[in-house]
Amino acid sequence: MENEIILEGNKIKYKFFKRNVKYARLEFRSGELFVITPFWYKNVDYLLKKKSKWIINKINKLKDITKNSLQKKLIFRDYNKWKEVVYKIANQYSKELNLYYKNIYFKTMTGKWGSCSYKGNITINNNLQYLPLNLLRYILYHEILHLKIKKHNKFFFEILNRKFKDVKKIEKELFEYWFAVRNNI
Ligand SMILES: [Zn+2]
């Protein structure tokens, strides 16, 4: 459900869902604020006001990212040649990490750049074809590493940080490209 609230003078839109959960929570998904509460929960306004600093901070960061996304130029490649590049990089990282996937699936996804299943399959978002190769490399390394470490824990990021100098910058760029793809494709 689409809702609105005024927080510190800003009109904030959010989506509200009641779910079978223990605690109320707020999260941003692809730039939108979601409020998820247990069925018995009454005081959504209070929750939003209590978290107003965090919400406004997030929204300002998102504005910044949306603005930066306008500067991002998408790259248009031959799709099949790009897929070959994906396999090439993936195989290189597999050897490097000594972690081997079963299959790579290509899918146009609306929620993430890539995923790794418990069965050892990797799914790559087709929209990555429009991004610079360093970002593709990061996603592939990330997903292959998930073959061994499922969670984004300390150990996971330790290995990632060893391979990529500026993970935070890469993550931010991926987010900016997310909006660039959404606006252009
Ligand atoms: Zn991950």
Centre of ligand 1 to C-alpha 7, Å, is 33
Task: Please check the confidence at residue 130 and state whether its pLDDT lies above 80.
Answer: yes
Residue-range domains of the chain with CATH: 2-69 (no CATH), 79-184 (3.30.2010.10)
Residue pLDDT, tens place only, 44-70: 999 999 999 999 999 999 999 999 999
Centre of ligand 1 to C-alpha 147, Å, is 10
Q: Give the residue-averaged pLDDT of 112-129.
A: 97
More reliable by pLDDT, 30 or 177: 177
Structure pTM?
0.83
Q: Give the residue-averaged pLDDT of 24-47.
A: 93
Residue pLDDT, tens place only, 91-111: 999 999 999 999 999 999 988
Q: How confident is the model at residue 127 (pLDDT cuts 50, 70, 90)?
A: very high
% of the chain residues with pLDDT over 90:
93
Centre of ligand 1 to C-alpha 52, Å, is 28
Centre of ligand 1 to C-alpha 174, Å, is 13
Contact, 181 vs 130, CB < 8 A? Answer: yes
Q: Give the residue-averaged pLDDT of 77-82.
A: 98
Centre of ligand 1 to C-alpha 89, Å, is 18
* Token digits of residue 121: 């399959």
Contact, 107 vs 125, CB < 8 A? Answer: yes
Centre of ligand 1 to C-alpha 157, Å, is 10
Centre of ligand 1 to C-alpha 137, Å, is 13
> Any idea of the CA torsion for 5, 30, 54, 138, to the nearest 10 degrees?
180
Centre of ligand 1 to C-alpha 20, Å, is 25
Q: Give the residue-averaged pLDDT of 142-159.
A: 97
pLDDT at position 146, please? 97
pLDDT at position 110, please? 87
Using alpha carbons, select from 127, 122, 156, 153 the residue that is nearest to residue 140.
122
Using alpha carbons, select from 63, 69, 7, 9 the residue that is nearest to residue 35.
7
Centre of ligand 1 to C-alpha 130, Å, is 20
